[in-house]
Every structure is written in C-alpha cells, then in structure tokens.
Amino acid sequence: MPDYCQACGREAPTRYVAFYQNIGAVFVRFSKSVRGYLCKSCVHRYFWRLSLVTLFLGWWGMISLVLTPFILLNNIVRYLGCLTMPPVPADAERPSPRELYDDE
C-alpha cells in the first residue's frame, strides 16, 4: 500500500477503491472507472462525481437500466468502507519529482 494518494499525490493514509460511472444511451453505453489507492479526500470527490453522473444519466438504455443499480451499489459499499479512514493531514504535501526518482 503506497503512502501517497495515486490521484492527488499527497502523502496521506490511503485505501484501495474502485468507483465506476455509467452513462446510458439508447443503443450504447459509456463507462468510466477510477481505481487505485486514494486518500479520503479523493475517495469523497470521485465517489460523488461518478455516482451522481450514474444516478442521473445511467438509466437510458436497456443494458444500462440493468447495470446502473449494481454500479451504484458497488460505489456506495466501497464509499461506506472508507468513511472510517483518517482524514488527510493538514500539512500533507505532494512528493517532488526528485524524491520519486531518487532510487536511480
């Protein structure tokens, strides 16, 4: 488990999550996902962003009509599992590119 968020790069406690988004059209659907070790702030941000789009635009197609409830349920279960995470420290910083490549 990395000690930095894979979305924002801040040094903070992380947890692995996978959030999904579905946009249904009559004959096609558009999907998106965010997966990785995220800090609590990013978990919150991506959960709401992807879930609200799915809630309002996920129902407009035959396949999407069936998939949307499962996608929303997945997102909610994973989000609830992250509510006990410690918050991102106020002094959390992003590592500099030099720190990331010091191993060379």
pLDDT, tens digit (0-9, with 9 covering 90-100), for 21-48: 999 998 889 999 999 999 999 999 999 9
How much is the pTM? 0.85
Q: How far apart are CA 67 and CA 55, in angstroms?
A: 11
Residue with tokens 């992807």: 50
> Looking at the predicted structure, is the pLDDT value of residue 56 above 90?
yes
Q: How far apart are CA 67 and CA 88, in angstroms?
A: 33
Q: What are the structural domain ranges in the chain? A: 1-30+39-86
If DSSP codes are grouped into helix, strand and coil, which group holds residue 97?
A: helix
